[in-house]
Structure formats: structure tokens, C-alpha cells
Amino acid sequence: MPRASLLAEMGADATLVTERLILRPPDEADLPWLLEAMNTDAVMRHLAGVRSPEAVAASLAEDIAAFAAPDGHRRWTVWLRDGPQQAGTRVGRVGLFHIRSPAAPAVLHGQREIGWTFAAAHWGQGYATEAAEEALGFAFGVLGLPLIYAQTSDSNRASTRMMRRLGFTARPELGYVDPDYPAQDNPTTVWSLAAPHA
């Protein structure tokens, strides 16, 4: 099936499943969890800080709309799939986005990047890596992308370690200062990963 037809068929039902996780399209019912577990000082520490409830709601609405667009970004809500007290528990989010920062080098504008955030209560259990690997498989397999970028800063040691673990290569020539982030989270570091068949 051609890629465009496959994406149209999948539509908003592009659910991905791993050994321990379910990656589901975002839903309005995610909002209370986003406000309580994700919009916190710990989770947003390297993401320009806690946002207003209105900004969180607007971002979720944008994520939901994007899933319905063939070329929109994909930000899945990550759920646990097993365990007597765990099934049905949201643990984080992982997504494939278009680089939009005006501060980024021109060569990066519109390129696809992966990103992830997980609730602090679920850090250190490998969920982010597992979800990111599945999202990368979708990017390279279903979307047919030849290259994926990732961005962080040296201050975010956990994300830097994870990028290395996923096989990303640092691209220091593409790093830049982003005025939307505080000095301690600058410069933005850029990483890239080529498709396995590239």
C-alpha cells in the first residue's frame, strides 16, 4: 500500500504497542493528567518551565488536530499495558515533530525530530527508551523518513544519555542558542539518526 494511503487508513487510530507500553493518539481526556503529572517543575525543567493551564490545553488541542492531518506531527500518549495496578496508567508522551524554532539553522527548518517527556514517577524504568524506539520504527518504517533529528542541551544529561543509547550522533555544527530557553539550557545541542536502510 502506498505510504499516503497507509497514513490515511491509519488516521487518528495510529496506536503502537511495545512489550510494556501502548502509544495512543492524544485525547481530550488526557488533559487532567497533563496538568497534574506532566506540567510540573521536574518534568518541565529543561522545557522552558511550567506552562499555564490554558497553554497546556491549547497544545493538547493542537496535538489532537495534528494526528488527523497526513503531514501533521504525532505526539502519542504512552500508557502501561500490563500489571494488576498498572494497566491503564499514563506514563508519558513521545512524538515526531517538525523543527519550528526560528533560532534553528535554516537547514533544520521543517525537518523531523523526535522528543519525549515522562512523568517523574515513572523515570528510570526504561519506558522512554522503549517508547522512542517504537516511534523511530514508525518514522523510518511507516513514514519512510531517511533521517530523524533530536534536540536537547548539555544541562539535560538524561536526554543526552538517551540519545546516545538510541544511536544518535551529535551534530555540533548545527547547535544554536534558543532565546526561548534560559541560559542554563543553552545552547541547544542537535543530534541525528539515519534510517537503518539509509
- pTM equals 0.86
Lowest model confidence (mean pLDDT) among 47-56, 60-69, 88-97, 118-127: 47-56
**pLDDT computed for residue 9 by the predictor:** 35
**What's the grid cell of residue 130?**
522503549
Reported as a single tens digit per residue, the pLDDT across 38-65 is 888 777 776 776 688 998 999 999 999 9
Q: How many domains does the chain have?
A: 1
More confident residue, 87 or 58: 58
* Cα distance between residue 72 and residue 97, in whole Å: 8
Strands (E), 62-196: 74-80, 90-98, 112-118, 147-153, 169-170, 188-194
**Where residue 190 sits, what CATH number does that domain have?**
3.40.630.30
Three state DSSP letters for 2-52? CHHHHHHHHHHHCCEECCCEEEECCCHHHHHHHHHHHCCCCCCCCCCCCCC
CA distance 90 to 86: 9
Q: 137: domain range?
A: 3-194
